Amino acid sequence: MQTLLLWLFYISSFYAFIPGIITRFFGFRVFRRGTVEGTFALTFDDGPDPVYTPQLLDLLKQYGMKGTFFIVGSHAERHPEIVKRIHDEGHLIGIHNYVHKSNWLMRPKSVRSQLKRTDDIIYKITGERPTYYRPPWGSLNLFDFAKNSGYRIVLWSSMFGDWRIRTGADTLTRRMKLKLKAGEVMLLHDCGNTMGADPEAPEQMLIALRRVLEEAKHQDLTSIRIDEMMTQERRAASMKLSFGKRILVSLWLLWEKAFHKVFRLETATPEDPMLHFRLTSYHGKMIDLADGTQLEKGDQVLELHFDNKKLFEIGSRSRSEMQIAIQMIRAVQHDLPAVAQMVLDRPEFHKIKGLYAVTMITRGPEQFGFILEDLPPGLFASSTRVYLKLLLSVIHPKGQSRLKEGSRRMEPKTLVMPIGVLLSRYAVKDTRLHDAAGSHLEEDLDLNELPLANTAKSLSS
């Protein structure tokens, strides 16, 4: 019996407590504090609440501040109009599980299910997929810690006990003012209907927050969204690059602008671009497509290109190849519906056979509906290989060392997605889709089940 208890202690420590300590105290694989002057982050957990969240939104609007709301999926289901207002007023929405339950008490499959269910709810209401996650009580299990299911985990640098009504507005005000400084990530709660919280506690939080926002205005501090704070961090980090690499990156981005202008590339999502494209004719070898047709020379295609600046930003904030792949996968998933809608809406795109790109992806694109083919040997394949290796050395966290580790695997490939697959998977489901695409294929991709892809870059032929 004693041996069994000892083993249970070891297992629970390895599964829950050790990942929690490493992330909470050392910040490994999580974001919990910024460093850029002039800004801090207000984050709100457990909502939306039909009484207090609207009051909070009114207060933030009055002071011109932005916040990040980590919402509980079951609460969002009951109050979709509040979630929509949060989104429409420019605040960031993240996931706080479907029910407010610790990840220490759930199996990995249960956590993934909670994430997926809440992700779908947010997407249905706002039309955008969330990319940030705060587990309830900040408790991570081993699989959250090790695999990071595609969401960037956000913790906090200060918390104030605002879930207890006895703390009171005066004590909260004093505690919050002591922590009111640049880079701080403050944890507050706009709902008191979770275990251990008092239902009326947010009322005291709102009184204290008004006082703190008034003080922030006097100190010329602004509350910004977590994603904006992380962008500031990346920009600050990019300034620390060596002089030679800064020159290389500057020239690279200058070339990007010239390339886009010369080839008249368009952007799928101008507000946050990842995929650029142009209408062109295919010039490669014949490829058999999944719908039984063939892609031949002269057929019209949309040629895809990743955004170089976005790739560099992803590489700058990622500490591993896995993190780069996850962020790229999510960005592509975000842009493909916009590309599909353009194909439906614009007459000049109605004759295209599919999407086309050249890349170094070795695993993963098939899950999106792409066909992966070897690039025929020759001058184009050789020059593409050199270019993509240069790109990888710039954006990858390991730089040149990554090239030495796996040069044999980094061979350029051709990616093709038949137009029917694009429309069936990613376009709005209406009668035009059935006419253009034929039969339905799989529903939206579940990133939790995706194999990870190597860093990729599209290049024209």
Residues 221 and 294 in one domain: no
* Domain end position, chosen among 198, 232, 266: 232
Residues 206 and 249 in one domain: no
DSSP-H helix ranges across 127-164: 142-147
- How confident is the model over 219-271, as pLDDT tens digits? 999 999 999 998 887 766 655 666 666 676 777 778 778 888 888 999 988 87
pLDDT (average), residues 345-349:
92
Domain membership of residue 442 as a residue range: 241-449
Question: Domain with 67 in it: what CATH number?
Answer: 3.20.20.370
- Please provide the average confidence, as pLDDT, over all residues in the chain: 78
Residue 111 confidence class, pLDDT cut points 50, 70, 90? confident
429 secondary structure, DSSP code: -
Burial of 385 (0-12, 13-18, 19+ CB in 10 A): middle
Query: Is 189 designated active site?
Result: yes
Q: Alpha-carbon Rg of the chain, whole angstroms?
A: 24
Catalytic residue among 45, 190, 307, 335: 45
Residues 245 and 210 in one domain: no
- How confident is the model over 369-421, as pLDDT tens digits? 888 887 777 766 666 666 666 666 655 544 444 444 444 455 677 889 999 88
Question: In angstroms, rounded to a whole number, what is the distance separating the alpha carbons of residues 200 and 31?
Answer: 30
Question: In angstroms, rounded to a whole number, what is the distance separating the alpha carbons of residues 289 and 415?
Answer: 11
Residue 129, pLDDT score: 93
Residues 41 and 83 in one domain: yes
Asked whether residue 459 is domain-assigned, the answer is no
Question: In angstroms, rounded to a whole number, what is the distance separating the alpha carbons of residues 158 and 388?
Answer: 42
Residues 144 and 47 in one domain: yes
Asked whether residue 444 is domain-assigned, the answer is yes
9 secondary structure, DSSP code: H
Asked whether residue 461 is domain-assigned, the answer is no
Residues 247 and 167 in one domain: no
Q: Which residue has the higher pLDDT, 374 or 210?
A: 210
Report the number of distinct structural domains present in the chain: 2
Residues 374 and 416 in one domain: yes
Query: Is 96 designated active site?
Result: no
- The beta strands (E) that lie in 307-460 are given as 354-359, 371-374, 413-418
- Report the DSSP pairing between strands 67-71 and 92-95: parallel
Residue 35 confidence class, pLDDT cut points 50, 70, 90? confident
Asked whether residue 35 is domain-assigned, the answer is yes
Least Cα distance to 187 among 47, 25, 36 occurs for: 47
Residues 222 and 255 in one domain: no
Residues 203 and 264 in one domain: no
- Structure tokens belonging to residue 181: 């400084």
**pTM strictly above 0.75:** no
Residues 434 and 342 in one domain: yes
Catalytic residue among 189, 276, 305, 396: 189
pLDDT (average), residues 29-42:
87
Asked whether residue 457 is domain-assigned, the answer is no
Question: In angstroms, rounded to a whole number, what is the distance separating the alpha carbons of residues 46 and 159?
Answer: 14
The values of phi and psi at residue 405, to 5°, are -75, -40
User: Greatest CA separation found in the chain?
Assistant: 74
Question: In angstroms, rounded to a whole number, what is the distance separating the alpha carbons of residues 121 and 375?
Answer: 40
CB 336 within 8 A of CB 283: no
Residues 321 and 442 in one domain: yes
* Domain end position, chosen among 201, 232, 263: 232
- Name the percent of the chain in helix, strand, coil, to the closest 5: 50, 15, 35
451 secondary structure, DSSP code: P
Asked whether residue 109 is domain-assigned, the answer is yes
* Domain end position, chosen among 189, 211, 232: 232
Residues 198 and 283 in one domain: no
Residue 459, pLDDT score: 29
Asked whether residue 376 is domain-assigned, the answer is yes
Burial of 297 (0-12, 13-18, 19+ CB in 10 A): exposed
